[in-house]
Structure 1
């Protein structure tokens, strides 16, 4: 995290834990005007004249469709089609920015470096250069991942029931922007975990070290989110992704769920069918976050012709899981 940005957050009575989650004493409720410091996310810059060619051969989206007016969710897969990481791919002048969880940045950087060879490509951890902000305000949602680029600020629309944007800027501008919005436009600084809760409710499939290389892109709904191109040509893992698409549906899918539990389920925790006598494992937890008394989860479940009426966590069967529509 940028030192000046962290100093500013601390001056606003915020606290930053060891996992880079920011907690503010001025927490706004959902539906108000909120600003979220997104310090759990980082930026990897891919620059050079061969940057687009490199990314085209390693990501699920069509890099040629990315512009300063259009960003996209995407994934990088291993040769077996399993997703190493998901990220938001953003165009900035002649470079590309990959917005992804801090804990997976080095993994993605090392994997891309394997394919650079003699190409004109530079990979840079730009987490100290850029600050990431979430913005939530009342209003009708606009087209997801539509992008507006200004001199010192990139704004990307995110899925939600209200108007939600992810902002990319430098530390000095982030400080000025937050100060102005709070002092003159009735915005409140809010917890970074509240933004993660909105991402879960909207079905944004961020991965962790525990869930990396566990699922193919369709299991994460990346096809529904516009993060897979089926006519762009070859990329690592493309054969498996394409076969799943053309031969039928994926055997598993990502769903939104809720459970009542005092213990936050960890990524890759097993989900069991309590109606089955053997209580077989039918899915995994992708991500989970507690807010008030409700725990929201993104879960990866086996597809079935019947509905799951009685799901629970394998390690805490009393914590019944209820499936919900997205944006719930």
Structure 2
């Protein structure tokens, strides 16, 4: 008896050979067009009349005033103000969705559930009942026309219809980037058309774009390592300092308003393979203790050893000497300008430009 494919994960696994072709691991051409299936992000759905107020008291961004035509970044912190998760959230008329890496989803969902108490909300893992397709390019209107009459016009704008949810994420290198979240059935029906019209790439290309956009993603190795500002999360729109309390809010606010921030996230390339989140970096000026940590990393191209990194670092380490991966004698990191303006004063980052 032939097994019927029912989940997006199963579909991607069955079609793995077409996703590992010569094109699949290369950065898209100059027009930026690409499509890739996403399977490493999970999805939590909150339903119930008090879902918004519950989440508003848990996350770093405003949930109470979240409009239906917009997605937002948010963080979930420990009482010490350290990030347990970064996520993207959006809602429709019945449900609030939280998109979060699969490797931490279960633990974060369990922790959130602990604080529901008597709130009228229900948390459900809906990962397997949804599919996510990532797309990039500045000429996708015609490709997506069968499902969406128009595209979201700005980063984190959202369009929703019977075909699902289309969210424009942060642009990278001037290229518009989107996530289409829909049912597995719709995604599987759409895939032949999308894969014929657009270059199919590995999901690594999507993650690389997130790095190049300067949008950090907390994963298992970096949980509880950073206050949101250390990874520029307030700069990319993930923190609202005017909203009410949430776990760690006092520490996050104190970091913002009292004293000068001494640690930030920066972009860098390094000539090294298999760079992973959580790897420490060291300054040649002070080689005995780490001065920062890799937050996210992806290789630029298959067959090449250059890796693009988003890393958190002491700003003082950017002023003198060199910075190296793993130890003071490891591969040297070469810093790049961030794609957004940083709050003043951030002198070492300004000098990178």
Which residue of the partner structure matches residue 295 of structure 2?
286
- The change in CA–CA distance for 1:244 and 1:7 in structure 2 (over 3 A counts) is closer
Aligned partners of 1:71 and 1:156 also within 8 Å: yes
- The change in CA–CA distance for 1:148 and 1:179 in structure 2 (over 3 A counts) is same
- The change in CA–CA distance for 1:236 and 1:285 in structure 2 (over 3 A counts) is same
Deviates more, 1:238-247 or 1:297-306: 297-306
Give the C-alpha shift of residue 52 in structure 1. 0.5
RMSD: 2.3
Which residue of the partner structure matches residue 165 of structure 1?
178
Give the C-alpha shift of residue 319 in structure 1. 0.8
Aligned partners of 1:13 and 1:25 also within 8 Å: no
Deviations 1:153-178 (A, max 9, x none): 11111122211111111101111222
Structure 1 distance, partners of 2:194, 2:287, is: 55
Q: May I ask how many residue pairs the two structures share in their alignment? A: 317
Structure 2 distance, partners of 1:44, 1:25, is: 34
Give the C-alpha shift of residue 3 in structure 1. 4.1
Give the C-alpha shift of residue 7 in structure 1. 4.3
Gaps of at least 5 residues in structure 2 are 141-151, 341-353
Structure 1 distance, partners of 2:318, 2:103, is: 37
Whose strand fraction is larger, Structure 1's or Structure 2's?
1
1:310 aligns with 2:345: no
Structure 1 distance, partners of 2:59, 2:245, is: 10
Structure 1 distance, partners of 2:336, 2:320, is: 12
Aligned partners of 2:27 and 2:300 also within 8 Å: no
Give the C-alpha shift of residue 84 in structure 1. 0.3
Which residue of the partner structure matches residue 40 of structure 1?
40
1:257 aligns with 2:260: no
Aligned partners of 2:287 and 2:327 also within 8 Å: no
Give the C-alpha shift of residue 47 in structure 1. 1.3
Give the C-alpha shift of residue 325 in structure 1. 1.7
Give the C-alpha shift of residue 23 in structure 1. 4.2
Gaps of at least 5 residues in structure 1 are 16-21
Deviations 1:229-271 (A, max 9, x none): 1111111111111111121443211111110013x22222111
Aligned residue for 1:188, secondary structure, equals: coil
TM-score by length of 1: 0.89
Matches within 5 A, 1:90-169: 90-138=90-138, 142-159=153-170, 160=172, 161-169=174-182
Match of 1:235 among 242, 246, 254: 246
- The change in CA–CA distance for 1:249 and 1:170 in structure 2 (over 3 A counts) is farther
- The change in CA–CA distance for 1:242 and 1:277 in structure 2 (over 3 A counts) is closer
Aligned residue for 2:331, secondary structure, equals: strand
